Structure 1
Amino acid sequence: DWVGGRYSLWSAIGLSVMISIGYDNFVEFLTGAHIMDEHFINAPTENNLPIILALVGIWYNNFFGSETQAILPYDQYLWRLPAYLQQLDMESNGKGATKNGRMVSTHTGPIIFGEAGTNGQHAFYQLIHQGTKLIPCDFIGAIQTQNCIGEHHRILMSNFFAQTEALMIGKTPEEVKRELESAGGKSEDEIQLLIPQKTFTGGRPSNSLLVKALTPRALGAIIAMYEHKVLVQGAIWGINSYD
């Protein structure tokens, strides 16, 4: 007979959302969430998005010692999504006791943070690429833009794919050396000093999540997907995600 604040937009509290975006858009929003609910219930495990995300998250959290996860939407309309998911995940699974009241024996929910697109690139991506912390990332993008301004969206999505590729394959010292030599203007000694600073190993985990267009239906599905991911992880850890 009650629902936690982090899930309340699906309840009567969603009235304020409906007033803001309109009845038809709100119905589409709910429809997207319902479609994801049905997918979560009926899709086989190997094709089930929330289950896959949950298991991948546990893999890096509990077996590779990652303590954080970055949410990186490449659409300015999703700029507050990282903060929304931060509350959803950390308030739900930030628990040190099991449902039976015993202390957990494993790491539970990760620290969630993030920023929209290129803002994050100029803030903390260097740590993700070159730092000593393993930070799994979720990149979220829309194939179609709602604002056709020249080549802006094409360039934005080029950044999306370039970042995920760089996280995966990195850049070797040999590649850095060739780039610096081709650019010219630096001595061999200067190049040797720069090579370690521009090398990154790759092998950094990320998920790429794409929707055709960022519609109310797509947003509803995205939020529901992460809610079910939190549910699965909480169940595996044996904690109460809904207290």
Structure 2
Amino acid sequence: MTYFTLITATVVTLCGFISGAYIVVVPKNPPAPWQAALMARYIMHNSDWVSIATISTQKSIKGYPFVGLKSLSDGPTTNSTGIPYLYMTKMDVSGSDLEVDSRVTIMATLAQSDYCRTQDFDPQDPRCAKLIITGEYIKIDKSSLEYKFGQDSLFSRHPVMKSWPKDHEFFVAKVDPIQIDVLDFFGGIKHVTKEDYFNVNITNFINADVEFNRISVVEIITD
């Protein structure tokens, strides 16, 4: 079973069923700093884009780090999988680099939302939380169910992708984490295990030890 089907099954199992609709509980605000795995998933699901670092294949800077920006989705708004899905093309600089060396690091930050600004946190302030994932870039088999899920997830968050040039041959890829780091408070980076990261689901936040005034309820009609 893949991660996304496992997590989706968990959502259905743990969420309440009332009057023909599943009640999914999601956080209004970032989790507390001591909930590093939950914070990691919160940042991922609430990010529309990431910075992406690759090993450059450009002649003048070959072997140096190179950074780009990519839109992403880890699932529809009502289903967080934690998997960073990307819409890639070999014609892009980062995409070209990854054809040669699949090692990659991505970073998402709450600075792209209103949260840090409303809290008067500078983007470099540790409390303006960051998620950094280093891992392997993987192209997803176009004939698989995961490919359709990843594509639907991306299109639901970034509808304009549907109109991107066909001759660029965009495809769905993902980052398989090797190291997951969270910086969300003073004291340095926290390492989150892959197991803890994927075992947390913000759409099952009802089971987390948080205040109820930090939670909102979303109704998903099932008929």
TM-score clears 0.5:
no
TM category, shorter: under 0.3
Bigger radius of gyration = 1
- Please state which structure has a larger fraction of its residues in helix: 1
User: What's the TM-score, normalizing by structure 2?
Assistant: 0.26
